[in-house]
């Protein structure tokens, strides 16, 4: 499905915490990627369709500096990333080599890529921060990717942080980490998350004026009826 401007507006205003709650209510427990954290403090939130990248453990006959010029390379993948996409890299949790450094991140930023999420590492970390590309990762490492990883393709299903990610799923990332919304559920989740945030904002105001939690959070039938009356 298309991530319309209206959906972007809604999803830009709801937290990943709210999204995981809404997804949990739909039976989806593994939507928050365990591990990836913001590389830079205050880098904000990003959202966009997932552009997936797949790495596997290195095999010495395949991973050489020369492989960087191969048609199946991270360089080629970056040149196909659409504006507004969130690059999600599956690395099988390998962190002893950085999948991207400052030059590749700068090119992604130049192409309008919204951000990078991985349970792997990045290299040239200070310079990556300077590119302005928002990055969520688990580590920083000096060695290049070929020291520990083989890049095998892009735009195919991957696993990242214990979550299955398909190309086109919507990724939302903020200070709490990154969440994946299956693309078939984006409109429904956005609508319910927006309603949840409005309800919780009202509940917070009730808490601040001294209302006890039982019956308020979660709201019982009487509280919901009062909420509907007061916000109608």
Residue range 174-194, pLDDT digits in tens: 999 999 999 999 999 999 999
**What digits encode the pLDDT tens for the residues 75-120?**
999 999 999 999 999 999 999 999 999 999 999 999 999 999 999 9
Separation between Cα atoms, residue 92 and residue 150, nearest integer Å? 11
* Contact predicate 134/41, CB 8 Å: no
Plot region of 65 (φ>0 → left; ψ -120 to 50 → alpha; else → beta) = alpha
The CA-atom distances, in angstroms, between 104 and each of 109, 121, 126, 182 are 9, 14, 14, 28
| Mean pLDDT for the stretch of residues 18-26 | 97
In this predicted structure, the answer to whether residue 1 has a pLDDT above a threshold of 70 is: no
Nearest residue to 54 (alpha-carbon basis) of 155, 192, 193: 155
pLDDT at 22 over 90: yes
Higher pLDDT, 232 or 228: 228
Query: Rounded to two decimals, what is the model's pTM?
Result: 0.92
C-alpha–C-alpha distance, residues 201 and 203, integer Å = 5
**pLDDT exceeds 90 at position 143:** yes
Q: Give the domains, in start order, of the chain with CATH numbers.
A: 29-181 (3.50.30.40), 188-231 (no CATH)
Mean pLDDT in the chain? 94
Do residues 162 and 179 touch, judged by C-beta distance below 8 A? no
What pLDDT is attached to residue 72?
Answer: 78
The angle formed by the CA atoms of residues 49, 54 and 58, to the nearest 5 degrees, is: 160
Q: Say how far residue 147 (Cα) sits from the centre of its chain.
A: 26
- State how far Cα 169 lies from the chain centre: 10
Q: pLDDT by residue (tens digit) across 37-78?
A: 999 998 889 999 999 999 999 988 877 666 666 777 899 999
pLDDT (0 to 100) of residue 163: 98
> What local confidence, expressed as pLDDT, does residue 68 receive?
63
Pair of tokens at residue 189: 């989740």
Q: How far apart are CA 63 and CA 150, in angstroms?
A: 6
Which residues, other chains included, contact 157 with Cβ-Cβ below 8 Å and sequence gap of 6+? Answer: 52, 164, 165, 166, 167
- Confidence check: pLDDT of 170 > 80: yes
Provide the pLDDT for residue 232: 85
Region 148-160: mean pLDDT is: 96
For the chain, give the percent of residues with pLDDT over 70. 97
């Amino acid at each position: 499905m298309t991530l319309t401007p209206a959906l972007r507006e809604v999803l830009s205003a709801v937290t990943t915490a709210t999204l995981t709650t809404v997804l949990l209510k739909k039976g989806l427990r593994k939507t928050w990627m365990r591990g990836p954290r913001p590389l830079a403090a205050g880098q904000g939130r990003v959202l966009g369709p997932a552009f997936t990248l797949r790495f596997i453990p290195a095999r010495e006959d395949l991973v050489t500096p020369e492989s960087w010029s191969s048609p199946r390379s991270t360089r080629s993948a970056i040149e196909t990333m659409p504006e507004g996409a969130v690059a999600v890299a599956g690395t099988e949790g390998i962190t002893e080599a950085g999948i991207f450094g400052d030059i590749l991140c700068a090119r992604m930023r130049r192409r309008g890529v919204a951000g990078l999420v991985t349970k792997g590492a990045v290299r040239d970390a200070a310079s990556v921060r300077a590119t302005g590309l928002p990055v969520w990762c688990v580590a920083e490492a000096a060695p290049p990717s070929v020291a520990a990883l083989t890049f095998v393709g892009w735009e195919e299903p991957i696993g990242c942080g214990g979550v299955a990610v398909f190309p086109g799923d919507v990724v939302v990332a903020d200070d709490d980490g990154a969440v994946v919304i299956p693309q078939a559920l984006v409109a429904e989740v956005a609508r319910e998350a927006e309603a949840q945030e409005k309800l919780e904002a009202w509940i917070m105001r009730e808490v601040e004026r001294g209302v006890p939690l039982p019956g308020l959070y979660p709201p019982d039938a009487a509280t919901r009826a009062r909420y509907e009356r007061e916000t109608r």
